[in-house]
């Protein structure tokens, strides 16, 4: 089960339509990222 969840309109893709995971990691945690372990 993932700890962090963030809804996006679109994922960053390479020209061959693969997800650029490094781009998502570079953005890090943003204010709209949900943390499963955060106190309610």
Three-state SS across 1-40? CCCEECCCCCCCECCCCCECHHHHHHHCCCCCCEECCCCC
Q: What is the DSSP letter of 27?
A: H
Give the pLDDT confidence score for residue 17 in this predicted structure. 98
**Number of domains into which the chain is organized:** 1
Residue 16 located in a structural domain? yes
Residue 2 located in a structural domain? yes
Residue 11 located in a structural domain? yes
Full domain range(s) for residue 24: 1-34
Q: Strand 34-35 vs strand 4-5: parallel, antiparallel, or unpaired?
A: antiparallel
pLDDT band (50, 70, 90) for residue 40: confident
pLDDT band (50, 70, 90) for residue 2: very high
Give the separation between CA 17 and CA 26, rounded to whole angstroms: 19
Residue 40 located in a structural domain? no
Convert the pLDDT of each residue in 5-27 to its tens digit.
999 999 999 999 999 999 999 99
User: What pairs with residue 17 in β-bridges?
Assistant: none
Residue 29 located in a structural domain? yes
Residue 39 located in a structural domain? no
């Amino acid at each position: 089960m993932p700890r962090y969840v963030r809804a996006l309109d679109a994922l960053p893709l390479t020209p061959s339509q693969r997800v650029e995971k490094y781009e998502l990691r570079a953005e890090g945690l943003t204010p709209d990222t949900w943390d499963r372990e955060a106190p309610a």
